[in-house]
């Protein structure tokens, strides 16, 4: 075989591998190392730090069920050594484009959609993601409360509802107000679709909708709610929460197969 024939054979082989690569579930760690999102009143828990620490547990469960999974974060790698080690162990892809303040910018794929953190949505579109889960914790004000508000799972309007409903159902069945589970004062979780035009800051969800990719924002746990924080500050419970979220995603994936 001549050199150019070998080269063509290699290119054809690589193209075959690329075509066969399964579409991954993308888990995106919300916020960034220099802007960590909502924090508990005692500063023990914040959303960015929590998900840097536990996103690997979600990914491991999804991969164990036979699905491909990629973790992203729009910012730079954490400077904190323990968080950096956790992100490295989990294989977090740092997109190295931290948002500066609340600057909104257009999607590279769908420039009519504008929002913060668009780089994560664009990367998921580049990957042809099967779905995207944006990992957050929520807060209502900065003072402790003992009654949780109804938690939210936000979804993109056209494609995300079934994924959101699946995660809600598994949360209700496996962890909310269950023995050994997360106290939730009998409250449920609400699925909240975000509409194009009505929520300009949700442009990243809308860009994924245009690409036909189901996407949800996990906002079911409140860092100003003391029972929630008392639950998730224990390592075993945080891992349980991460695995419950994964189980909701896996249930949806199986329904799609």
Which residues would be at the binding site for Zn ion (CB under 5 A)?
30, 37, 47, 136
Considering beta carbons, is residue 95 or 253 the nearer one to Zn ion? Answer: 95
Least Cβ distance, residue 138 to Zn ion (angstroms): 7
Considering beta carbons, is residue 155 or 250 the nearer one to Zn ion? Answer: 155
Considering beta carbons, is residue 35 or 256 the nearer one to Zn ion? Answer: 35
Read off φ and ψ for residue 164, nearest 5 degrees. -60, -45
- Give the dihedral of Cα atoms 34, 237, 142, 188; nearest 10 deg: 120
CA separation for the pair 142, 239 (Å, rounded): 25
Residue 220: closest CA among 164, 137, 143, 133: 137
Q: Which residues of 224-246 are buried (b: 16+ CB within 10 A; e: fewer)?
A: bbbbbbebbeeeebbbbbbbbbb
Shortest Cβ contact with Zn ion: which residue?
136
Considering beta carbons, is residue 67 or 225 the nearer one to Zn ion? Answer: 225
Least Cβ distance, residue 97 to Zn ion (angstroms): 17
Least Cβ distance, residue 151 to Zn ion (angstroms): 13
Considering beta carbons, is residue 39 or 90 the nearer one to Zn ion? Answer: 39
Least Cβ distance, residue 92 to Zn ion (angstroms): 17
- Give the dihedral of Cα atoms 232, 237, 241, 243; nearest 10 deg: 150
CA separation for the pair 29, 56 (Å, rounded): 11
Least Cβ distance, residue 48 to Zn ion (angstroms): 8
Considering beta carbons, is residue 37 or 75 the nearer one to Zn ion? Answer: 37
Least Cβ distance, residue 46 to Zn ion (angstroms): 9
């Amino acid at each position: 075989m001549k050199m150019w024939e070998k080269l063509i054979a290699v290119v054809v082989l690589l193209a075959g591998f690329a075509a066969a690569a399964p579409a991954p579930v993308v888990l995106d760690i919300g916020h960034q190392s220099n802007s960590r999102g909502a924090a508990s009143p005692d500063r023990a828990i914040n959303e960015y730090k929590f998900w840097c620490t536990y996103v690997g547990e979600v990914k491991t469960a999804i991969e164990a069920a036979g699905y491909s999974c990629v973790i992203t974060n729009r910012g730079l790698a954490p400077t904190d050594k323990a968080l950096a080690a956790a992100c490295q162990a989990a294989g977090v892809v740092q997109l190295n484009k931290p948002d500066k303040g609340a600057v909104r910018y257009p999607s590279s794929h769908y420039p009519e959609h504008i929002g913060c953190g668009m780089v994560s949505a664009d990367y998921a579109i580049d990957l042809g993601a099967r779905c995207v889960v944006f990992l957050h914790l929520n807060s209502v004000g900065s003072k402790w409360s003992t009654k949780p508000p109804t938690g939210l799972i936000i979804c993109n309007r056209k494609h995300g509802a079934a994924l959101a409903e699946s995660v809600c159902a598994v949360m209700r069945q496996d962890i909310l107000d269950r023995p050994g589970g997360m106290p939730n004062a009998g409250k449920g979780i609400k699925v909240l679709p975000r509409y194009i035009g009505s929520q300009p800051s949700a442009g990243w969800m809308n860009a994924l909708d245009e690409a036909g990719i189901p996407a949800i924002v996990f906002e079911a746990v409140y860092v100003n709610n003391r029972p929630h924080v008392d639950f998730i500050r224990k390592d075993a419970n945080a891992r349980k929460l991460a695995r419950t979220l994964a189980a909701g995603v896996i249930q949806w994936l199986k329904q799609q197969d």
